[in-house]
Amino acid sequence: MYLAVDGYGRCEKWIRNDIVDLKESKTTSWFKRFIGREQKPEVTWPFPFVEGKLFILTLRAGVEGYHINVGGRHVTSFPYRTGFTLEDATGLAIKGDVDVHSVYATSLPTSHPSFSPQRVLEMSEQWKAHPLPKRPIKLFIGVLSATNHFAERMAVRKTWMQSSAIKSSNVVVRFFVALAKH
């Protein structure tokens, strides 16, 4: 059975020339490959990483899950957890023996090519700041926030910023995200 996420395969088997028994458990296979071995196994093309070589890894949030590309080639996809909404994502962690040289974050698309133009991602408009009212403002609330406090900003958006007292009055709330120069 072929499972897909946004039409992409969930996982791709990376070909290695040291795999003998494809039916053995993954744990057993990894132990046999690396424990007590003097030489590292040779890795052929479909495995996307080469030790000591730079690579570009792209993580894209799709409609049904995350998609991972390495060097412009799709390698795997992961469906979102049940009950997960994209605005609940608060960060990205990269673990292991990897030196990160740079990270670029871009905005989310507002629609997916398979959608009709009227149907957009749930997140796009719901959490945007309302435009400034035409009438005089009675209260301006400025919330100073660090760039890595996305979860805290989402908590404010989802709680008291949704109250009718805030939404229906002449109150304006804006986040000021501090950027520190290194």
pLDDT per residue as tens digits for the range 95-111: 778 788 877 766 554 44
Which tens digits make up the pLDDT trace of 42-87? 645 467 777 888 888 888 877 778 888 888 888 888 887 777 766 6
- CB-based contacts of 106-115 (< 8 A; 24+ apart in sequence): 108/61, 112/6, 112/62, 112/63, 114/7, 114/63, 115/63
Which tens digits make up the pLDDT trace of 14-46? 444 444 455 555 556 556 656 666 666 564 546
Q: How many alpha carbons fall within 13 Å on the CB side of residue 51?
A: 6
Q: Which two tokens stand for residue 108?
A: 């989310």
CA 140 to chain centroid, in Å, comes to 32
- The phi and psi torsions of 70 (rounded to 5 degrees) equal -130, 125
Which of 161, 64, 83 has its CA nearest to residue 121? Answer: 64
What pLDDT shows up at residue 116? 40
- Of residues 131 and 114, the one with the higher pLDDT is 131
Q: Which two tokens stand for residue 67?
A: 């998609």
One-letter amino acid of 53: K
